[in-house]
Amino acid sequence: MKLPSRSKAYMIPEYSLTGDLLSFLTCNLQYRYQNKGTLPPSKPVQRWFGEFIHGVMEEAFIQWKQKKTEFPWDWLEDIRPIEEQIDLRLQARGLYPHDEDLFFSSVNNEDTNLNEHDHKKLASARAEKAINIWGKHLFPLIDSSELLIKGIRNMPQYDKNRSRSNYYGINGVVDVLTSMKINNTLEQTNLDNYNNKIIEILKKNNDFQKRINESKDRDEYEIIIDYKGMKRPAIEVDDPKSENKWESHKQQILTYSWLRSQQEDSKSIYAGIIFYLNELVPSKEDLMLIKEEMENGLIDDETLEKYEKDFDLITNWQEDDKAPELSNEFKLNRSIRIINIDKTEIDNSLEKFDKVVYDIEESLIKEMKGNKIQDAWKAEADERTCTACDFRTFCKNNKNKTKDFKIP
């Protein structure tokens, strides 16, 4: 008697918006080594800070909900314990801050006497500003935090003899604001003199207002929030050789809004908000990049004119100088970005997501068929990414390899 063989396990590949899409777009080969291999980056500073600030904001929201502590929060008393908690969580996942310049980790240090100097470490300074500047406006509007959103899509260019599955899954985690919370906040404050900065910015946003005016269910909507532990990216022209972060972040929010719309309890999504939290306390590197963007004409004239004083300070600032005293208005406005959500934009971003998934799957299939890793995955990234990359010494991208072994 012939025994039937067990059918192959049915597996749907799952892709996350940040872990896969943004990471693959940064560099295909780096993504392969970091995400599909067993090589965690030795000092993933960018990733550590991104996850750290995300965790700090989420935990601060939970504590605000429970205790309703008035703003501004005291760093040592209210914020530092949150930082430690998040740092420990990240350590358990093998993520550590780069060095003491970034963050004083009392867990690894016997000297737990924190002083003013430690308070000024970059990560702590940003956490404090993020909570005290944006937290106080944002937390009262949040309806759901850390909401897991998932969806399923047809595998692009499915071929039963080649593809791993006929579907793929997408997932992401977001915070959601609702019109109900926004309206409650408005009711509790003086309508003519509302003081919630986020509501104020939304009221001045033409696309958002148009959306509300045109809608039948103007009192039933949601806004999706994401925090980024990075500076505001420049508005760039698409270059196939490097990731256009400005565009990718928009696509991420649009895809989130599609995922959210698949959930039963969702309302219409009218906008997305991204917080670029480095802008609240820019590092020297961030300031150098803003300077470069100005020199390369990547900042529009209207913005240059509006914040002329701040841009002048940055132009005259040199790397060894003390950081320029930028205005709060400048920092605040650079740290928030409103994304307009509409159906055509969502469809375009989903198409782009499909294309990225197709490219990842193609590289995976090539590797599974016996191609060498470096032949199956493209090695292309901008100079900054390559300089900080753990794999540059053996990367096939010769330009970066020679940089490391430059002979004087």
Report, in this order, helix, strand and coil percent for the chain, each rounded to 5.
50, 15, 35
Question: Nearest distance from residue 287's CB to ligand SF4, in Å?
Answer: 24
Structural contact between residues 172 and 256, judged by C-beta atoms closer than 8 angstroms: yes
Distance between CA 59 and CA 66 in Å, rounded? Answer: 11
CA-nearest of 142, 143, 170 to 156 is 170
Residue 391 binds ligand SF4, judged by CB under 6 A: yes
Asked whether the CA dihedral 333, 238, 249, 88 is positive or negative, the reply is negative
Q: Copy the structure tokens of residue 26.
A: 């940064």
CA–CA gap between residue 175 and residue 252 (Å, rounded): 14
Of 343 and 406, nearer to ligand SF4 (C-beta) is 406
- Taking residues 13 to 52 in sequence order and writing x for each that binds ligand SF4 by CB under 6 A, - otherwise, the string is --------------x-xx----------------------
- State yes or no: residue 392 binds ligand SF4 (CB under 6 A): yes
Of 50, 18, 27, nearest to 392 by C-alpha is 27
Q: Which is nearer to ligand SF4, 360 or 381 (CB)?
A: 381
Q: Determine the interface stretch with ligand SF4 among 137-145, 153-161, 296-304, 383-391 (rule: CB under 6 A).
A: 383-391
Shortest distance, CB of residue 304 to ligand SF4, whole angstroms?
32
41 vs 233 by CB, closer to ligand SF4: 41
C-beta of 30 vs 196, nearer to ligand SF4: 30
Beta carbons within 10 angstroms of residue 367's beta carbon: 16
Tokens of 161: 């003899």
Residues across the chain: 408
Q: How far is the CB of 293 from ligand SF4 (least distance, A)?
A: 21
182 binds ligand SF4 (CB under 6 A): no
DSSP letter string, 218-248: TTSEEEEEEEESSPPPP----BTTB--HHHH
How many residues bind to ligand SF4 according to rule CB under 6 A? 14
Q: Is 397 in the site for ligand SF4 (CB under 6 A)?
A: yes
**Where does this chain touch ligand SF4 (CB under 6 A) — which range of 136-144, 268-276, 284-292, 393-401?**
393-401
Paired residues of 178 in beta bridges: 222
Q: How far is the CB of 26 from ligand SF4 (least distance, A)?
A: 7
Q: Which of 177, 224, 259, 389 binds ligand SF4 (CB under 6 A)?
A: 389
Closest approach of ligand SF4 to the CB of residue 149, in Å: 29
Q: Which amino acid is at 29?
A: L
Q: Which residues make up the interface to ligand SF4 (CB under 6 A)? A: 27, 29-30, 379-381, 385-386, 389, 391-392, 395, 397, 400
